[in-house]
Structure 1
């Protein structure tokens, strides 16, 4: 598509569910839940450009560019409307997709999503620093990479909250052995993060979610994007359904796949798909433009208040 290879999984039947993975991951991050979801839905799980088996060209790696690519992919597959579900960076793409293409979006599900506050782990901010590409090139040399990956996996098995997600981090680290993958990730991160944290936010457009069912799912022990961002979502979009899963980190769909799939299904089953109305969208835009824009959200309810 557009001269570049796009890898994706398509399985199941029923209403379409588009699954968007996070930074440095690929469609395999969804493997624990794909079969359960495919019993009721047509599941589309792509490798975003620059990730997995998709090509890694010099290209537009902005969230808007990714949203355009997902619009083109579902159109290519003959699908008109989707419930879009995004994890981490993929959550930012999902929000952008819903914003750019509300007529194609039935619901929005955000999983430990970016775009809900400025804070992010220093490891991701480090990607934007000069020399990152060269340093990571040394750290992913065969011997060094194998030792590093084994160490991360060993730490992930300690049971400590701080090391909860290191098995997944080990897989991301291993993928950086490909220079094209490292270059693509650097372009992605620079589009959404600087040394102070996340740049892209839904705060100034959150009022538009009034027209679309939205769910937010987070792991209580997330060390990549703080779980308090789930409370930010509740403050920014009061109509959103927020679920915080205990004993889960940045990848709740991998830590508790059965519960995760059940939460997604219950959300879809209990909500009507959004129907796009240009007149209603115009009214929301005019009303939102008259109100003071929402700035940084910090004084929000404790996350326990929005735990189901």
Structure 2
């Protein structure tokens, strides 16, 4: 597998963000979640680039972006995203967000008042309560996790990310996903972003979902063991302008499990 590389860099107020763009046409932005990176959009970028100028980036503290020692929480990601939108000079782009990427889009729209043409949310972290026992453990014992040997850390991250996919994940994909989280900097960054995950960042916006008027498509993997599909149904009820599409034989990482079916629903919603 050829290594996935981002070629451009933006210096936000909070740290350096790596990004790239591809294609021509109306602007469309892909925002990944945790513990992922823009690498996980690789199956759908080429197709979307046939109709759109596709922008994709690694969240601050993730992937190829800078991994600062400070705040990389959801409370910062929407601010970085707003700065990126202004830097790119984009007005009312189409946005697609997965997991924390969906949360970031919702916070950017509802709190920072950034307007989007259409919004697509894929298994987003959006409806309380959320967070696993693993998240709670890391939050309470972050220093202890930071001190575990590298080989144990690698095994933890590898096992963790594979749990997001319904179908088995090949070795090369696992390696690309976990590579940014290895080494001293990567290990610190991995446990930092988990320790900083807090439901307060969705509590801020959940009461505002009823105010969303833009067209919204909510896509959910039926076999999502990280965030059950019932959360997607509840989000659909809260966002009156939304459509809801379940995808069979897909877990939390729909873009890895069923990229072709995912693309079909995206393009249909965008009227391509």
Same fold (TM over 0.5): yes
**Cross-structure match for 1:204:** 207
- Name the CA shift for 1:80/1:173 in 2 (closer, same or farther; >3 Å): same
Give the Cα–Cα distance (whole angstroms) in 2 for the partners of residues 162 and 103 of structure 1. 30
Q: Give the match's secondary structure for 2:134.
A: helix
- Name the CA shift for 1:170/1:2 in 2 (closer, same or farther; >3 Å): closer
2:253 aligned with 1:243: no
Give the Cα–Cα distance (whole angstroms) in 2 for the partners of residues 15 and 33 of structure 1. 16
Give 1:264's match in structure 2, choosing from 242, 249, 266. Answer: 266
Give the Cα–Cα distance (whole angstroms) in 2 for the partners of residues 119 and 101 of structure 1. 23
Moved more, 108-117 or 171-180: 171-180
Deviation at 1:176, TM superposition (A): 2.7
**Cross-structure match for 2:5:** none
2:184 aligned with 1:179: yes
Structure whose CA Rg is larger: 1
Give the Cα–Cα distance (whole angstroms) in 1 for the partners of residues 197 and 111 of structure 2. 17
Give 1:37's match in structure 2, choosing from 45, 48, 72. Answer: 48
Superposed CA RMSD: 2.9
**Cross-structure match for 1:302:** none
**Cross-structure match for 1:306:** none
- Structure number having the greater helix percentage: 1
Give the Cα–Cα distance (whole angstroms) in 1 for the partners of residues 146 and 179 of structure 2. 11
Q: Give the match's secondary structure for 2:201.
A: coil
2:93 aligned with 1:82: yes
Superimposed CA distance per residue, residues 73-111 of structure 1 (whole angstroms, 9 cap, x where no aligned partner)? 132223223122111111111111111344432222111
Query: How many aligned positions are there?
Result: 256
CA contact (8 A) 1:149 1:171 kept: no
Deviation at 1:171, TM superposition (A): 5.3
- The residue correspondences of 1:28-67 to structure 2 (distance < 5 A) are 28-67=39-78
Deviation at 1:116, TM superposition (A): 1.7
Give the Cα–Cα distance (whole angstroms) in 2 for the partners of residues 187 and 230 of structure 1. 27
Give the Cα–Cα distance (whole angstroms) in 2 for the partners of residues 169 and 259 of structure 1. 22
TM-score, normalised on structure 2? Answer: 0.82
Give the Cα–Cα distance (whole angstroms) in 2 for the partners of residues 163 and 68 of structure 1. 29
